[in-house]
Amino acid sequence: MSQCCVCERDRDIFKEIVLTDKEAAEVRQLTGKDPLDKYIYCKACWNLAVDKVQGPQLMKGLLQLQFQRNGVRNSEALAERIRQRLVQKASNKPIS
């Protein structure tokens, strides 16, 4: 059992994400902080995270909260920018 990065409950690991070096560098550049070594999701949270509608909005809220806790300036705008990238990736359409 491990702690889910979304609900923070001790749950069985359903999905474990490790960022690539490029993704980790982007997180560092955007936030000024080091990313986690790995992101662990329980089944319920993973099902929300991969939903093309709910997932990006959930991630935006979680990122914004984490950014605010870590003192990242412009946390709302940064979280929105990441949400837009997630939507773009999910739909394979350019951001306007």
pTM (2 decimals)? 0.64
**pLDDT for position 65:** 87
Same domain? For 46 and 61 the reply is no
Is residue 49 within 8 A of residue 40, CB to CB? The reply is no
Same domain? For 60 and 85 the reply is yes
**pLDDT for position 3:** 92
Q: How far is CA 76 from the centre of its chain?
A: 14
Same domain? For 39 and 66 the reply is no
DSSP 34-79: PPPS-EEE-HHHHHHHT-TTHHHHHHHHHHHHHHHHTT-TTHHHHH
Same domain? For 4 and 44 the reply is yes
Same domain? For 38 and 61 the reply is no
Structural domain harbouring 63: 52-96
**pLDDT for position 15:** 93
Query: Would you call 30 helix, strand, or coil by DSSP?
Result: helix
10-residue mean pLDDT series, the chain (96 residues): 89 91 86 85 89 84 86 88 79 57
Please tell me the total count of domains within the chain.
Answer: 2
Same domain? For 31 and 8 the reply is yes
Same domain? For 56 and 89 the reply is yes
